[in-house]
Amino acid sequence: MSDAGAASSTVVISARALHKAFKKVQAVDSISFDIAAGSTTALLGGNGAGKTTTIGMIMGLILPTSGSVRVLGVDMARERHRVLARMNFESPYVDMPHRLTVRQNLKVFAGLYGVADVASRIAVLAESLALEEFLDRQAGKLSAGQKTRVALAKALINEPEVLLLDEPTASLDPDTADWVRSRLEDYRRRRNATILLASHNMAEVERLCDRVIILKAGRVVDDGAPHDLIAKYGRDNLEEVFLDIARGRAAALA
Amino acid sequence: MSGFSLRRIIAMLSRYLYVLRSSWPRIAELVYWPAIQMFTWGFLQTYINAQANVAGFNGRFAVAAGTLIGALLLWDSLFRAQLGFSLSFLEEMWSRNMANILMSPLRPLEFVAALMTMSVIRLVIGIVPVTLLAFWFFGFNLWGLGFAVVAFFVNLVLTSWAIGLFVSGLVLRNGMGAEAIAWSILFFVMPFACVYYPVATLPFWLQWVAWCLPPTYVFEGLRALLVAHLFRGDLMVEALAINTALLVAGAFAFLGLLDSARRAGSLLQMGE
């Protein structure tokens, strides 16, 4: 788990009565939470729990039906362009132009994010994420693990204060996934960045996160530090806690 | 952060130019289709001219037929400029990159400015060589028409941007199911824009429809220039007025459909 002492009490992400309905489906049902600066928080939940929709609303790509979400003090539904240069994200549902080389892709995003010294920033990322060997290869010709590293490089191109990650290690082998987690931990410590991630991987959440917000059917059903939740439910690990909640055993156990 | 950033527009342009440079068939294709069209209509025009002389029309019919190749070049300019805008936009959908773009500090109007610039770049790459071929093979010198060509092109490009904005908004809102509109929408407009025949050819009630379309003014202007040697500045000004209204409507439609896509929650998972 990351160093909880790094977190300060400054609220970076604030959701208030956040609600999103798609026609008659309540994807996110009036959730509220604050996320402190320098912390790593996980949104945990099964398929359809509302994790991706919540992250979408935090990014401002999905408009809430009601409620509000603020990032770095800015209302993301109305003024998101004021803070987008200080944020970034990675998602397995999003790709980068296949015909561009990795270097070209990173140059384009460096330009979009207003990075001052593009060449040296790409060099730093290439070294820290081990991209050198395929920096001039087309993005479409990379393996899944290489693509994830490139997506992470894009997500870190502007050294974001707020990093949103949707299943950051999905489809990676255990070794590569572990390597990616180490890079994320390093980045958070060095930059005192705030990371919010959605994940199905309990080991990943236990290792990376100070705090877990558990969603079920669009509602927050529990919220706390991983070790506190494990103790609260009397389980050995977060996966067992998750299964208790997902299968409706939580009320009896908690 | 600045409200409108040239640097972000240049970043987007470099993205599209990288794609274009990465594949010579893509560049060749920009010239290929306009060239094929031009040769087909150019030879048809040559044939009509020959038949008109045999039939003794004293060249009048031949002059009218001479407008065919000019109309074709202008029509293709409109079509290519609209495709240049829409295909650049669709590149983001095909590569599942749209969320990255929309999550970046790039403003929607900067995105649009990059798409407009790409539409002009692709148009120039595609059409300029074909106009030179038209001069070489058929003696039709589009550039010899002088200032009128500028007026024609400005109006056609403005129309292409307005349509491109509307189509891109529809794709943002409805996903790739709306992609076919990008390819077909101008062909719906074509019969009413009177590309190859005067507006007077249409039934009276359809003439009203034709005069609502800016390209109609351009093609009428071209015929006036080639047949009567008269530059109709009034037509160009009227086309410009309608184009301005269409462009404003297109920009509002694009922004409105983008907001609608944000409400529908479809932006995060866009792509093929």
pTM of the shown model: 0.91
- The C-alpha angle B169, B174, B178, rounded to 5 degrees, equals 80
Mean pLDDT for A52-68 is 94
Left (φ > 0), alpha (ψ -120 to 50) or beta: where does A116 sit? alpha
B269 touches A at CB < 8 Å: yes
CA distance B115 to B57: 47
First to last CA, chain A: 23
**pLDDT tens string B216-253:** 999 999 999 988 889 999 999 999 999 999 999 999 99
User: How many CA atoms, within 13 angstroms, populate the side-chain half-sphere of residue A105?
Assistant: 31
Contact A162, A86 (CB under 8 A): yes
Query: C-alpha distances in angstroms, B161 versus A230, B120, B205, B244, B251?
Result: 58, 10, 27, 11, 9
| H helix or E strand, kind and range, residue A216 | strand A211-216
Nearest to B101 by CA among A144, A57, A181, A108: A108
List the single residue in B with minimal CA-CA distance to A92.
B269
Domains in chain A: ranges and CATH: 4-94+161-253 (3.40.50.300)
In this complex, do A85 and B1 lie within 8 Å of one another by their Cβ atoms?
yes
Local structure of A150: helix, strand or coil? helix
**pLDDT tens string B161-208:** 999 999 999 999 988 888 888 888 899 999 999 999 999 999 999 999
Strand partners, A22: A25
Which chain B residues have a beta carbon less than 8 Å from that of A61? 99, 102-103, 262, 267-268
Residue A196: per-residue pLDDT? 96
Local structure of A223: helix, strand or coil? strand
Residue with tokens 């974001």: A160
Local structure of A196: helix, strand or coil? strand
In this complex, do A96 and B5 lie within 8 Å of one another by their Cβ atoms?
no
Nearest to A191 by CA among A42, A94, A86: A86
Best A28, A71, A94 residue to mutate vs chain B (most B CBs within 10 Å): A94
Local structure of A73: helix, strand or coil? coil
List the single residue in A with minimal CA-CA distance to B110.
A112
**pLDDT tens string A7-58:** 446 999 999 999 999 988 899 999 999 999 999 999 998 888 999 899 999 9
- Chain A: nearest CA to B11, how far in angstroms? 5
Sequence ranges of the domains in chain B: 6-264
